[in-house]
């Protein structure tokens, strides 16, 4: 009888311990990571400091600017997303820029009628002091596209250039700019071809470009792209470049204050997005 009671006691204790362990496991699974919590904080911060700009009263004017802001936002998302996609796929800093330039020009070429109302800004350099790597990244992005479009005037109007020829032009340009480590493997090029195809499909169907860059990434950085959306929605309310830069500096400062986020990746995305939307001016 005594042995039976001991066995029952062991079973009960085992069940209690098992139940506690299961609860702890479930709690760990459900508990958000530090990065998730801080990314949500960053997104909320952007929402909190979003500029207040009254909408134009004239419905036609409102529709006009809404259309162009949508085009600019797509460019910003494509450029920043291309860079992030490259980094998420194991590419270095400047090879990530190569992908960004590719997705930028593909988006501009396939961007619909809005692209014909704008031209490349001769004042392409956004940051006067680009000692920080993410700022150099943004300036280099603009310089490369500026020079490519000046050397190939029909490029942004939808010339019949092939994807491989476009990629080759970009690689040559980056090497001319002093960035030697921008070569890609045949496997990487195959993945970029798929990315370009998916990007064109998204543009043709007016789908969210973020899904193009998130697809296939194991870490699925959804919150990072949600942050990019919030940033572009906010900064595109400002029409003065200096105001955009001041606003963006606040974002950089906030990113630097969050130890759990991917700081350099996020600042690189923001820098490219900011420079991208300042690369074009009305004709």
DSSP string, 110-147: TS-GGGGGEEE-S-----S---SHHHHHHHHHHHHHHH
**Residue-level pLDDT at 26:** 47
> Would you call 206 helix, strand, or coil by DSSP?
coil
> Would you call 280 helix, strand, or coil by DSSP?
strand
- Residues 62, 68, 73, 76, CA torsion sign: negative
**Residue-level pLDDT at 109:** 81
**Residue-level pLDDT at 215:** 86
Q: Does some domain include residue 172? A: yes
Q: Does some domain include residue 15? A: no
Going along 84-134, which residue ranges are E strands?
118-120
Give the DSSP H or E segment for 82: helix 59-88
**Residue-level pLDDT at 175:** 97
Number of domains in the chain: 1
Residue 114, judged by CB atoms within 10 A of its CB (0-12, 13-18, 19+), counts as middle
Residue whose C-alpha is closest to residue 109's, from 180, 63, 58, 165 = 165
8 Å CB contact between 199 and 209 = yes
Note the residue count of the chain: 283
At residue 241's C-alpha, the angle toward residues 148 and 127, to 5°, is 60
Weakly modelled stretches of the chain, pLDDT under 70: 1-30, 55-67, 111-117, 156-159, 220
**Residue-level pLDDT at 280:** 83
Q: How far apart are CA 232 and CA 70, in angstroms?
A: 10
Q: How far apart are CA 103 and CA 101, in angstroms?
A: 6
Q: Does some domain include residue 209? A: yes
Residues paired with 280 in a beta bridge: 120
Check residue 55 and report its DSSP letter.
Answer: P
Q: Find all residues with CB under 8 Å of 171, minimum gap 6, and list them.
A: 98, 182, 183, 184
The two tokens of residue 246 are 């001041």
Q: Does some domain include residue 9? A: no
**Residue-level pLDDT at 246:** 97
Residue whose C-alpha is closest to residue 272's, from 92, 81, 123 = 81
Q: Does some domain include residue 10? A: no
Q: Does some domain include residue 32? A: no
> Would you call 282 helix, strand, or coil by DSSP?
strand
Q: Does some domain include residue 56? A: yes
Question: Considering the entire predicted model, what is its pTM?
Answer: 0.84
**Residue-level pLDDT at 30:** 60
Count the helices and strands in the chain (H runs, E runs): 11, 2
**Residue-level pLDDT at 161:** 84
Q: Look up the domain containing 149 and give its range.
A: 39-282
Q: Does some domain include residue 180? A: yes
Q: How far apart are CA 205 and CA 103, in angstroms?
A: 16
């Amino acid at each position: 009888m005594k042995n039976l009671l001991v066995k029952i006691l062991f079973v009960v204790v085992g069940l209690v311990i098992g139940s506690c362990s299961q609860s702890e496991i479930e709690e760990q699974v459900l508990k958000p990571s530090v990065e998730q919590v801080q990314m949500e904080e960053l997104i909320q911060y952007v929402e909190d400091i979003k500029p207040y700009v009254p909408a134009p009263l004239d419905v036609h004017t409102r529709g006009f600017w809404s259309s162009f802001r949508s085009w600019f936002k797509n460019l910003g998302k494509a450029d920043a997303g291309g860079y992030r996609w490259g980094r998420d796929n194991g590419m270095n800093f400047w090879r990530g820029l190569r992908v960004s330039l590719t997705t930028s020009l593909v988006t501009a070429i396939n961007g619909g009628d809005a692209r014909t109302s704008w031209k490349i800004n001769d004042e392409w350099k956004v940051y006067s002091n680009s000692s920080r790597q993410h700022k150099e990244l943004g300036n280099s992005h603009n310089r490369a596209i500026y020079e490519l479009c000046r050397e190939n005037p029909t490029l942004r109007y939808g010339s019949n250039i092939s994807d491989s020829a476009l990629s080759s032009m970009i690689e040559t340009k980056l090497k001319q700019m002093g960035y030697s480590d921008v070569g890609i493997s045949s496997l990487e090029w195959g993945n970029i071809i798929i990315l370009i195809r998916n990007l064109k499909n998204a543009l043709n169907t007016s789908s969210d470009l973020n899904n193009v860059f998130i697809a296939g990434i194991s870490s699925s950085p959804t919150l990072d792209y949600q942050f990019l959306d919030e940033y572009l929605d906010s900064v595109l309310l400002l029409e003065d470049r200096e105001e955009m830069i001041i606003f963006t500096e606040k974002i950089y400062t906030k990113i630097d204050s969050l130890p759990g986020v991917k700081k350099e990746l996020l600042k690189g995305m923001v820098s490219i997005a900011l420079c991208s939307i300042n690369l074009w001016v009305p004709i």
